[in-house]
Structure 1
């Protein structure tokens, strides 16, 4: 009996969707490889939503992964990444959607730039474009903890071996502390899922957002069902039979089907019209 209970709970659809796993985050940290010199590999992102100033309303952020040198470029709008890569003459590699840790370096720079602008922007917020050069200069002159020197000094200098050693030590230290709260899991890094068209979501998800689905292999076992989203109706009686149906509205977008339902222990005269979506408990009968 204990095994049956465990199998039932493990395959319960609602339990799998709602219950939080009390486990460490899935997958160990996989640091990016250390580069040989500046400007071999860059990360880039757009910060959008700025007030329009001189036709500029976003910032194109470029970060050199080796020297940590940053470039802030005011832009009219968020340019498609393919076009940005073509203009730079570089090979494009996408980071995982909804997983900022994939490109944590650029996300951190974005946060620093936004914090800087909050400090120095005027009340009308019309001077943010003029602050870009100062923000870029201030950041690049600061000593970066990972390479052990300022981005400006490393980008124009020749101390690449020392910086590479410091970056490797920083990567090992970061992995050591990050893996304390993670567990090994043999999965790919990301998966592309087939989602319903009504969900306006990017279909690629990092493995940390996913968990295995356990199917109920016993076809006779009655599983609890959940109401579809936005359906606020549930019946506590059973259907005797469907007497009739009708289709309301003719456009595909607004079309709906109603069913004339005779409930058990009631007469046909007491039958009621019910919308198809509210009969989610009775898929086989409908």
Structure 2
């Protein structure tokens, strides 16, 4: 009797949809393909909403996945797609040439039509993370965490001087031996170790210069110790909170976590924890699948397995089921037309030049009349 009751409760569809999961997320680490040469495969991300420091409030982080070398670029505000392209040309291309692949999250800068056309024109492959799983861009996520920890420890109480520490942070980060390569990014990239600060600052008889040199040496020692500590801490915690995921196949049914989905229900707190079940349409990797979603669920259909829960066969087919209400979302990935600027006939097809709501003129694009509704 006890076993029957347990099975009945475990397979209750209402309980599955409404109760939050307390287990560790599914999906062991699946590394991205290893690049073969430096700066052929890079990852990009932003650290945003920082306190103003010399007009800057955003940091663009660029990491080479082969050498692990990073660039920390201060910016004024979160850039548009066109501004991101300009920063890329100025800070990455001029130093390292064009990469073959850029891994990013699904921020508007990287999903904008301008950025897609920019990458396509330069023969750069876009590698976007799966929906609501920024860990897929783990290289920059880890680097962001290490950089943020460094800034927290050494900026002033008013937090207005962090931009002055970025050059030291970048130099120290790139001069640390990486556990994955057993070498420093500087050495892998250039074949030599850069000149270091002398063991102790020499007195120059210029008090202001002596003070500046002393501060640089002190900060260098502190930064090195803090970066090493941060690397150990991130590895420890990342390895603790994972469990293997089921082996999914095309046609399997799964529940989808609603944690990151903007539901249109009146109260989020009383809404379902899981949606579905939905069929798996395609298995993209051991930890990423594409779901067959209804038209009302207007979100990107590719998900990490940590957001899924397998549907188990119900041993009680005679169970009376309550039909869940219709699921609809607030659109996340849709483009909304703001203005039709022009029209033309192109290859026997009527096209409109569209200004997209929330995007600038750089993202204006020609679209078939069939796609405008």
TM class by smaller structure:
0.5 to 0.7
Partners of 2:36 and 2:155 in 1: how far apart?
A: 38
Matched residue count = 211
Identify the residue that residue 290 of structure 2 maps to in structure 1: 191
Local SS of the residue matching 1:133: helix
Q: 1:127 to 1:178 in 2, by over 3 A?
A: closer
Local SS of the residue matching 2:37: coil
TM-score by length of 2: 0.46
Local SS of the residue matching 2:50: strand
Deviation string for 1:94-150 (max 9, x for gaps)? 112332331222111111111111111112211111111111001111111111110
State which of 192, 202, 209 in structure 1 corresponds to 2:307. 209
Q: 1:123 to 1:194 in 2, by over 3 A?
A: farther
Identify the residue that residue 66 of structure 1 maps to in structure 2: 66
Q: 1:179 to 1:16 in 2, by over 3 A?
A: closer
Local SS of the residue matching 2:310: coil
Local SS of the residue matching 1:46: strand
Q: How does 1:264-275 map to 2 (within 5 A)?
A: none
Unaligned runs of 5+ in 2: 90-121, 193-238, 250-282, 327-373
Q: 1:28 to 1:110 in 2, by over 3 A?
A: closer
Identify the residue that residue 153 of structure 1 maps to in structure 2: 187
Identify the residue that residue 129 of structure 1 maps to in structure 2: 163
Local SS of the residue matching 1:182: coil
Contact 1:14-1:225 at 8 Å conserved across structures: no
Contact 1:97-1:204 at 8 Å conserved across structures: yes
Contact 1:29-1:179 at 8 Å conserved across structures: no
Report the alpha carbon displacement of residue 186 of structure 1 after superposing the two structures with TM: 2.1
Report the alpha carbon displacement of residue 85 of structure 1 after superposing the two structures with TM: 5.5
Contact 2:131-2:300 at 8 Å conserved across structures: yes
Identify the residue that residue 138 of structure 1 maps to in structure 2: 172
Root-mean-square deviation (CA, aligned residues, Å) is 4.2
Local SS of the residue matching 1:93: strand
Identify the residue that residue 182 of structure 1 maps to in structure 2: 244
Deviation string for 1:218-269 (max 9, x for gaps)? 99743468899xxxxxxxxxxxxxxxxxxxxxxxxxxxxxxxxxxxxxxxxx
TM-score by length of 1: 0.58
Q: 1:27 to 1:121 in 2, by over 3 A?
A: closer
Q: 1:84 to 1:49 in 2, by over 3 A?
A: same
Unaligned runs of 5+ in 1: 159-176, 229-286
Q: 1:56 to 1:204 in 2, by over 3 A?
A: farther
Q: How does 1:94-113 map to 2 (within 5 A)?
A: 94-113=128-147
Rg comparison, structure with higher value: 1
